[in-house]
Copies of this chain bind each other. A is one copy, B any other.
Amino acid sequence: MSEGTDDLAFEPQEEELLSRVAWYYYHDGLTQSEIGERLNLSRIKISRMLERGRRMGLIHVHINSSYGGCFALEARLQELYGLDEARVIPAQDGEIIIERLAEAASQYFMGRLQEAEMLAVGWGATVMGALQRLARTLSYRNISLVSLTGGVSAYIEGVASGRTSQNVHLIPAPLVVSHESVADAIKAERHVIDVMTMAKTANYALIGIGAVADEATLIGSGYATRQQFETFRRQGAVGDIVGVFYDQTGTVLDLPFHRTLVGLDLDSLRQIPHVVAAAGGAKKVDAIRAGAKGRHFNVLITDEATAQAIIEGEPS
Is A71 within 8 A of B103, CB to CB?
A: no
Shortest beta-carbon distance, A142 to chain B, in Å? 10
**Which secondary structure dominates chain A's binding surface?**
mixed
Residue from the list B19, B57, B61, B140 in contact with A69, Cβ < 8 A: B19
Interface centre among A59, A64, A67, A140 (most CB of B within 10 A): A64
Interface centre among A58, A90, A141 (most CB of B within 10 A): A90
Shortest beta-carbon distance, A165 to chain B, in Å? 17
Q: How far is the CA of A64 from the CA of B27 in the complex (A)?
A: 13
A12 at the interface (CB under 8 A from B): yes
Is B67 within 8 A of A26, CB to CB?
A: no
Is A100 within 8 A of B28, CB to CB?
A: yes
Show 26 residue pairs from A and B whose CB-CB distance is below 8 angstroms, ordered by the A residue: A15-B71, A19-B65, A19-B69, A20-B69, A20-B90, A22-B61, A22-B63, A23-B89, A24-B90, A28-B92, A58-B63, A58-B65, A59-B61, A59-B62, A59-B63, A59-B64, A60-B62, A61-B61, A61-B62, A62-B62, A62-B110, A65-B136, A65-B140, A110-B111, A111-B141, A114-B114
